[in-house]
Every structure is written in structure tokens, then in C-alpha cells.
Chains A and B, each alone.
Chain A
Amino acid sequence: MTPILSGFSDILHPMVLLWIIAGVAIGYLVGALPGLGKATAVAIAIPLTFALPALPAIAFLIGIAKGSAAGSAVSAILLNVPGEPSSAPTALDGYPLARQGKAGKALKAALFASVLGDLGATLALVVLAQPIASYALAITPVEICAVLVFSLTFVAGLSAQSLAKGLVAALLGLLAATVGLEIESGLPRLTFGDYRLFDGIPLIPMAIGMLAVAEMILQAGNRAALDQQAATIAKGADPDDSRMTRDDWGRAAPAIARGTAIGIGVGILPGLGASVGSFLSYGLARSRSKEPGRFGNGAIEGVAASESADNAVVPASLIPLFALGIPGSVIAAILIGAFMLHGVTPGPMMFAQQPRLVGGIYAAMMAASLALLLIGLLFQRVFAQVVRVPTRRVVPVVLILCVIGAWVEGGGAFGVQVMLAFAVLGVLFVKLGFSVVNFLIGFVVGRAFELTLRQSIQILERDPANLLAHPIALIFLAMTALAVWRFTRGASRKPEHPEEI
């Protein structure tokens, strides 16, 4: 334990602290700009760290990942353009809050949720990485598949207007997730002969199209309302509108606690990623809420749920990396490359061979959480000025940002085409009362669900009786059955008030 503790003091070196702060600041800026994802930012930054010693280099890269996970909330709230797909649920309630003149409140809620989620997951990493190692290997695709099946039941809770329409939206999302090369045979599915669809529909152009562009289309032509809204946004006379009140904390705290737990869980399970975490957290917060009608209209707890889970995934995905050498996320996979470059092999041996470095990384990650709070508060003052610009002038700029984001993340003009196609779909969804969130949840969960289902069938040797060897999976399947039973019973009893379920 002593070498780990001495590693803690290593971060007090001014150069190390400087790199942590630089990483978080760069990450926050990158996250706030739509189009540059955290994976891209970390990958591009790796060559910058060639000349650095291991600790500042790794602290810098982890700082970027943490910073951009938090920064992506800024554009989601102010512009309705998620900086990363994992912040898409943040926009669902953050943007309505901004339109009500409560941008400051929403930004603070997002930041505090990010910092708390991040800190909670970092502590989980410090405490759990070693003891969890033996349990983590017991998590096979069978368990992950069961968890995903259970998570799909949240969709029912998100279907405030009509259970049937909600399910249809989610199933369409699952269908969209099947586009691309079929995972076993490599045969193209639903690609209509277009090779650009071989890797599936790119998530960022899809999310930007369905959320941001669709929203702008729906608002277009309504200048008077836009101008009035802009006036409300700019005013923000009530100081309570730009800070978290006691009442807000009361709503947000349970959402943050649950979001952090979900983020940690999703981070530990390999192959799910931050988007699954934030969407599930948002879905759970809404299905648990006594007033689900608030969601989508500026519920502070929706912002808190999404952002806490989004940020918690980053440190949590390092748990399997540190404990077992298994990359739990894209970020973790990229970090393996960076670790190896600096002579560190991630995995259980790391604790025995370089305990001091491990201690340093732990301390640096906690310092990064604090840096996140300070940098977030500082940058938000600047970014929040965006709300002073009249909406009419903001919309064209946002559209350009949307196009850039779709272009960069969707492989050129193809990304823009995807964005426009899904903008049209998004408008239709809203007009016809189908849930865009359900569609996106179905899409985000779909690929992992199909893969783990096929893996489970092989692992269970096509015999359901072999499930008995997977008690964790059985528990989740039982919970799924219970949830379905509750929802269908509620739906048949009170068809007019499904939100009371």
C-alpha cells in the first residue's frame, strides 16, 4: 500500500498538475464542440505524449476523456446538439431548460452530475479494481445479454403517451441497428448495395439529425415565437434560474446516485459504452419518476441522470482494464496503446510491478475530477453567453455545426446524408407521437444485444437448460418478466393514464 500512497504525492509535481489541467481543459473544449468525439481527441493527443514521462502522459489522456465527457453537455444544453452521442439524453431536458431561461441552472446541474459521477466511479475504480478481478471473469456474454434484455424494459417507462407507439419506436431502433454486415457470416444486411452502410448507420449523424435538425425544422417559420423565446432566455432575471436550488438538488441527487451506479455497471461490462449508460440512466430516471410528464419539458433530474452516467462510464471502463487487462470501452482500448507506449502493461501485474505509478494514476484521476469542476465553472461563464444571441441568429450557426459534426463522424458527405434522412424521420416521429428516445435506445442497445445473444446461444450450446449455470443472468431475466408483467397489467387497467404506472 505504501508505494501506492507515495504515488499519490507524485501528482503534486507542478508539471503533472499542469498536464492534468491541460487535459481536462482541452477535453472540455473538444466535448463542447459538436463533431469531435472523445475517442478522436484522445487518439490525436497520443502522439503529443511521446516525449512525456508515463504519469503526466496518462493523466493528460485520461483528463481529455473526462473533460470531453463533461463538456459535451454544454452544446447539448445550449444548442440542442449533443457534442457526443452519450450526451443526447442530456439535450432532451437540458435544451428545454435553456429555452425557459434556465441555461445556467441546466449547465450547473450537468457539471455537478458529471463531477459527482466521475468522482464516484473513480473511487469505485480505486476500491474495486483489484477485488473485482475474480468476479469480472464470471461475467460472460450470457449475463450481459440478460442485462440488455432487462434494460429494454425501461422503454416501456419512457412511453408516456402510448405503450404501443413506444414499443414500435424501440423496435424500429433495433431494426436500424441490424443495418450493416451480419456479424457471423459477414453478409450485408439492409444496406441496399451501398458499401458505406457496411459498418451500420453512424450514430452521431443519426442523433444530430433526429434531435437537433428535426427540432430546428419543427421550429422553422415560427419567428415570433423564436424571438420571444430568445428574449426569455436572455433575461434570466431570477437568480434561481442560473443556480441549483435546494429543490433542484432534491430532484437531482437520487438521479445522480442511480446514474453513477448505472455508469459504473455499464463501464465494467465490456463493449457497451457511454451512450448505453446515459440512455439507460435517463430511461430509468424517467420510468422511476412520479411525474414522468416533466421529462422532455425541462426536468433537471433528466439532465443529472444522463450526465452522471455518461461521466461515470469513463473511469469505470478502466476497472476491467486495470484488473484484467481487458478494454471495457473504446477509450480503454485507445489507452492500452498509450500505456504500452509508456512501458506499462495494463492488467493485474501492473499493481505488482508499478504500484507507485498506479497510485499516481489514481490520484491524478481524482485531481482531474476536481479540475473538471473548476474548469467547467470557468468555461460555462463564457459558453453561457451564447444564450444572449437571438435564436434566429443561432440556428444557422448550429446547422453548420451539425453538418460539420455529421461530416467528421459519419465519413464525409455520407454522414450529412444520414443526418438529413434522420432529420426527416425525427420530424415524422414527433408529429406522429412516436418517441425519438426509444428509437435511439433501441439503436444503441441493438448491436450489443444481437452480438451477445448469438454468443450466448453458442456458449449455452443451444440448450436453455444450461442457463442454470448462470444465476446472474437468471435474476435479470426474472426481473424482465416481472417488469413486463407489471407494465402490461398497468396498461390494460388504466389505458388513459399510463404515466401512473
Chain B
Amino acid sequence: MKPRYPGYQVLAKWNSPSFDDSTRAVLARRLGQVPPRRFLTEAEWALLEAVNRRLLPQPERSEPIPITPWIDAMLHEDRGEGYRRPDMPPLRQAWRLGLAALDDEARRQHGQGFAALDGAAQDALLQTLADNRVLSPQWQAVHAQRFFVHLLLKTAAGIYYAHPAAWDEIGFGGPASPRGYVRLGFGQRDPWEAREAP
């Protein structure tokens, strides 16, 4: 992927008026204190890691934006979105059952676990979840499409785009307190905003 905003780094503004202490504290934790595995089993972690590599592939990064550790932290803290459908199990159970069903689905479709498949086969398998064209009876406990879209995908996308490296990638201004912005109109850019490659 060709960089759209070459050289732009939100974190270069760390000591500028675009950052305040509360934001620095939050981002220091996100960057420097990636949580250890506390909730998922080693096998579940490895499986989820393989899934996240397909949901948000980052082949160009030597240090990919971590996603799995933050999902584990969310499950460890049992911190969900505050609602679920009555036929969905509670948060922790939904993730655990969903991951098990996903691996079972891989064995039924391809004869081996998800992590052992190549990238194309993994993508094809995930698409069957997205389309709700699944074989495993384990999906009776957790709806395949909802697990894929509202748990796996929505969560991973949220974590990825909460990371400063993702903000660099899309040219987002990032933290903006107390300075904010001055130039608001069409095609107008403050000097502390990303410049798009011509």
C-alpha cells in the first residue's frame, strides 16, 4: 500500500499544544503497556492472532499494531459494549464459543485448524462466516455472522484505528487539545495537519 501521507507522524506532536497531559497518559499506556495474556488460552490466543492477521493485515510493518492483547484485556476485564441480543451468550462466553466454532468450521471445511491454513483459505473461511454459510453445529450457540461482524471485525477495526500508527496512515489529525484547529473549509489544512501525497 503506497503511503497516502508520507512522513506524517501524529506522535511528532507529543510536546505540542495538540497534546495535553491526560491524552499523553492514555497514549503512553497504549504504546508502552501492551497487556499480557490473561484470559484466553494459549491456543485461543494463537487462533485469534491468526484471525486478526487476516482482518487487518499489516505486511509492511515490522511491528504490527497489536490487536489480540487488547481483546484479551477487554475479556479479562469483562468490558463489553453494554448490550447483546438475548440469544447471544454473555461477552466472555460468546468469544470463547465463537473461537471454538471457528476452528471447528476450519476442520470441517479444510480438514485442519484455522491457524494451519494458508492466507487465501483463511480469507475464504472468514467470508463463509460473514455470509453465514457455515457447517459447524457449534454455531448454534453463537450466530456465525454476528460473531464475525459484531465481535471479531468491529472490535479489531476499533482497536486498529485507535492506534497512532493508523492515524498516520489515514492522515487523521489525532489528539487536538487544547489547540484544536483553525482552518475548517474545503481543502484547508492547518500546518499541524497531515499533508496528502500529490
The answer to whether A and B interact is no
Using a CB–CB cutoff of 8 Å, the interface residues on chain B facing chain A are none
Using a CB–CB cutoff of 8 Å, the interface residues on chain A facing chain B are none
